[in-house]
Structures are given as structure tokens and as C-alpha cells.
Structure 1
Amino acid sequence: MDVVIAPEAQIGEIVADDIAALIAARPDAVLGLATGSSPLRIYDAVTQRVERGELSLARARGFMLDEYVGLPLGHPCRYSTVIDEDFVSRVDLAPGAVRGPDGDAADLDAACAGYEKAIRDAGGVDLQILGIGTDGHIAFNEPGSSLASRTRVKTLTAQTREDNARFFGGDVDAVPYHCLTQGLGTIMDARRIVLVATGEAKAEAVAQLVEGAVSARWPATILQHHRRVTVLVDDAAASRLALAEYYRHTQAHRHLVS
């Protein structure tokens, strides 16, 4: 696991560099797209490169991490709407190139199984973007989630609903109780994972992720078992890392080994 501590303003450019390198090597790469506030700087940086003609996602594809249950197509808080506004509509991805789980499906279990198959049929995710919740969840894998879980229906914790109420005009009662989410096992299948966290509110979750024991209590800790994970955090999110100075030292003296 690589830990990079950088100013928030630089994090988007760092991940955009990774995406650009991936697309240069494989124009039809599969991206794993997260919603929420954490990846917005990434999407802004990638969009700017597309607008300048430095990068094209015309052959790329994408899969979303999760979706609320019961929000109809076009609802402003439905994640398919959010990812379209935040990213898809701003770049040159082909129509239909980004897919999310269908939280409005009549048969939710079948929708989950179909989503898993779609990811497999696409060849899997090349680079997965993640955020992390204050309770250590990634996607909507809440504390207590199976570390081997696949895409499924989950019940959101009260903390997650409170955290997400800001997207629903501050009305926690408007936040759905259920979602469809990629499982931790599904996320671990990605060939490369980049997790972004900023702000002091994420500091405890980041400390557990990087330096804590692997446990379903802090679902993101499963990433310690992935062979290619980069954790990008600002100073505030890194404030509880006991080895923060070592991570800075490693970053400053990083070099390529042939």
C-alpha cells in the first residue's frame, strides 16, 4: 500500500496522471467510478485534460460502485444522475459506456447478479477510484460487511444516512435506507485501486485503513490485502497516522527500480 500525503488541490492531478497513463497504454480501459465529494477534484482534472485535447476517454468504459434503492431514473440524488453531472457529461465517454447497478429494478437480487456479470464480461476494472466513509466504509459496505462480499443489497447505517443528508437538502429522512453496492470482494478484483480522503473527519478511518488491523469493523482495511493500492490524503486526513513522517520520507525519496 502506497500512502501519499499531498495538498488537496494536488490530489486530483496526481490521480489524473494515473488515469492518463492507463488510457495511453490501454485506450479501452475500464474505470471504476465513485460518487461523493472525494473524487470531484479527480473528475475536474480529467475533464480539463479532455477539454485541452490531451486525453480522450472515447473508448473507455466505466462501472459505478453503488446506487440507492428506490430512487427513480433521473432523480437528482440517484447516483447515475450524479455521476453524469459530475463527470460523464463533461468528457467524451461514449453513450452508455458507464453503467451502474439498478436500484429501481423489480428484482434487486437479479440486478446485483447481472451487474457482477457485466463487470466480468468487460474484463474487470483496471483502475478503481474510492472514497472512504467516517466509519471506514468503502462503496456502501458498512461496518460488519463480509470481507468476501459481492454486489448485493445493503442497509445503510444511521451515520451514513446522516453524512449523506447534505446531498438531500439536509433532510436525513429523505435519504434511502437501502442501496445496491459492489461488495468488498468485487472491489478487490480491480487491478489497481486509488483511494482519496481529505479533511479531519476522515482521519480516524484513514488511520485504521493504513495502520489498523484488518477487520469487518473497518471495512476499508481489506485493502491492505490488495497488491496495488494508493491512498492519497491531505494533512488533515493524515493527522492520526503514526507513521506519517515515514510516508512523507518515502514519497520524497521514491525512485523506480528496474
Structure 2
Amino acid sequence: MTWPVNGQPSTSAIVSLSSNLEKTGSTPLGCYKKLIEYHKRGDLSFKYVKTFNMDEYVGLPRNHPESYHSYMWNNFFKHVDIDPNNAHILDGNAEDLQAECDAFEEKIKEAGGIDLFVGGIGPDGHIAFNEPGSSLVSRTRLKTLAMDTILANAKYFDGDLSKVPTMALTVGVGTVMDAREVMILITGAHKAFALYKAIEEGINHMWTVSAFQQHPRTIFVCDEDATLELKVKTVKYFKGLMHVNNKLVEPLYSMKEGN
């Protein structure tokens, strides 16, 4: 993520935020809380940041407690200094849904593209509402939700399947792949198999997260439980890389704090 330096707007501050199937992403929620903490401490400003959320349910009023509009404003946007005009979320109640999707892609293009994509994944490896079988070159579009997704989301709608949205607007895998940097947050043993599919097996449209094997600047941020399905040598390899990286960057942080 980029932010103003010395009170001046950065040249690029376009961020895509997670809104995945699990309550707009329970994993990114921890990230949002940390960003709010930095903002309140005076270390981070969102004054010049533009955001594009990944998805929204179709037919759900934006003030509905389960809409992604409500979730993002209640859990993040209202706690920081972002300009409301710079917080872009798909309109699931638009008269012409395809036109809404096309306009969203155009807004991203006009903003100069996404600098940083921040997202979580589901146990099936989905990104946004790009569920298993989605095209890996897809763009923002209208998506019919899988029955497994509808059943899983029923708990957020009083267990009543008739209340659960069956369609959503979502950015495509291709849309995400266009971001200059991608950060995927993965926590919990229930997502360990998805991480295994993303790292140790080949690219497969049944595991959309695997598409990031072809992205030049992607980082997976995981906890120990999420690595349980990986080979021991794979975990050791990446921990070794992290150790070397930390040794390189820690002196830089020390110099910054000294100034």
C-alpha cells in the first residue's frame, strides 16, 4: 500500500480490498484493524488513497447489515480519513448490472490500475466470487453463486436459504492479475489444502488462487495452521527466505526510526 509522504499525495495509491465470501473476509478484517490502529497513531493516512472493493451481492440493499457496503464502512472506512468519493464498491442494485461491471473496470483503468490487491481466500481457493471453475482471464462480471456458497452463507441470514443472495458482482481473476502487487492473507487449518494447491501444484481453474503462480509480485501471508498441508521442506524454504529478508530490511527500519 502507498500513502502520502511528508504530507504530499503519493503518485500512486490505488488499492483493491477484500470482500470474499466469508463475511467479506474474516481474514482481512484483522488487517483492517491494524491499518486503523496505524491511522489513529498518526503513522498512516488514506487521504489520497483510492480503493476498489472486489464484490457485492446482487439485490441486497447497500444498507443491509450483510452487504459489503455496510461491512466495509462499519469495519474500516468510517474509522480512517478516506474520501468517500475514493471508496469504490460495486452496486448490486444497478439497473444494468453488466454496464455497472464495465464501468467498474473503466474506473480502475482511469485511476491508473491497482497498485496493491489485498485479499483472502476461501477453503476452496476462491478469490472474490471467482469460485472453482471460473475463468482465469475473467473480468468484472455478474456471477451465479454455487449452492455450497449459498448454504455456507445461510448462517449470516438467520439460516434462511430464501434470504441468501444467489448472485453477485465480482472482479475477475484477470482483473486481480492486472494489479502491480498482490498480497493474499491465509489463516487457519481449514485453508491449508487451498494453500497447498496454490503453491505445490500447477495452475488450475478449479483452484483460482493458483493463478497467482504467474503473477510477478505476489506474496502469501500465512499462519502456521495454514501451512499444515505443505511439505516440510517447502515451509523451511520459505521461512529461510523470510529470515534473510528480515535481516536485510531490519536495519532500514532502524535507520528510519532513528530519524
TM-score with structure 2 setting the length: 0.87
Unaligned runs of 5+ in 2: 20-24, 250-259
Alignment of 1:250 with 2:241, yes or no, is: yes
The partner residue of 1:29 within 13, 19, 36 is: 13
Tell me how far apart the structure 1 counterparts of residues 154 and 38 of structure 2 sit (CA, whole Å).
Answer: 32
Output aligned runs, 1:81-96, within 5 Å.
81-96=70-85
Asked if the contact 1:132/1:138 (under 8 Å) is kept, the reply is yes
TM-superposition CA deviations, 1:204-231 (whole Å, max 9, x none): 1111111111010111110111001010
Is residue 36 of structure 2 the alignment partner of residue 47 of structure 1? yes
Alignment CA distance shift 1:244-1:197 (3 Å): same
Q: Is the contact between residue 27 and residue 57 of structure 1 (CA under 8 Å) also seen in structure 2?
A: no
Distance 1:107 1:176, change over 3 A: same
Specify the structure having the higher radius of gyration (Cα): 2
Structure 2 vs 1, CA of residues 245 and 170 (structure 1 numbering), >3 Å: closer, same or farther?
farther
Q: 1:156 aligns with which of 142, 145, 156?
A: 145
Q: CA deviation at 1:162?
A: 3.0
Match of 2:64 in 1: 75
- Equivalent residue pairs, number: 237
Counterparts of 2:153 and 2:226 in 1: how far apart (Å)? 19
Q: Of 48, 70, 73, which aligns to 1:59?
A: 48
Aligned equivalents of 1:197 and 1:159: distance in 2? 20
Give a deviation string over 1:71-95, Cα, whole Å, max 9, x none: 0121111111111111101111012
The one-letter amino acid of 1:100's match is I
Distance 2:82 2:223 in 1: 30
* Post-superposition CA distance 1:157-208 (Å, at most 9, x none): 1222233333334444422111000000000011111000111111111111
Asked whether the 8 Å contact 1:28–1:61 carries over to 2, the reply is no
CA contact (8 A) 2:54 2:128 kept: yes
Q: Deviations over 1:212-253 (max 9, x none)?
A: 110101111101110010101111111111111221122122
Q: Is the Cα–Cα contact under 8 Å of residues 3 and 48 in structure 2 kept in the other structure?
A: no
Structure 1 stretches of 4+ moved >6 Å:
none
- Tell me the residue number matched to 1:13: none
Structure 1 distance, partners of 2:227, 2:162, is: 32
> Would the aligned equivalents of 1:214 and 1:222 in 2 still touch at CA under 8 Å?
yes
Give the alignment's Cα RMSD to 1 decimal. Answer: 1.6
Cα deviation, 1:1-31, whole Å, max 9, x if unaligned, reads xxxxxxxxxxxxxxxxxx3xx2156265011
Whole-Å separation in 2 of the counterparts to 1:173 and 1:237: 33
- Output the CA distance in 1 between the equivalents of 2:186 and 2:162: 26
Counterpart of 1:179 in 2: which secondary structure?
Answer: strand
1:193 aligns with 2:213: no
TM-score by length of 1: 0.87
Percent of pairs with identical residues: 41
Where do 5+ consecutive residues of structure 1 fail to align?
1-18
Q: Looking at both structures, which has the greater relative contact order when contacts are Cα pairs under 8 Å and sequence separation is at least 6?
A: 1
Tell me which residue corresponds to 1:8.
none
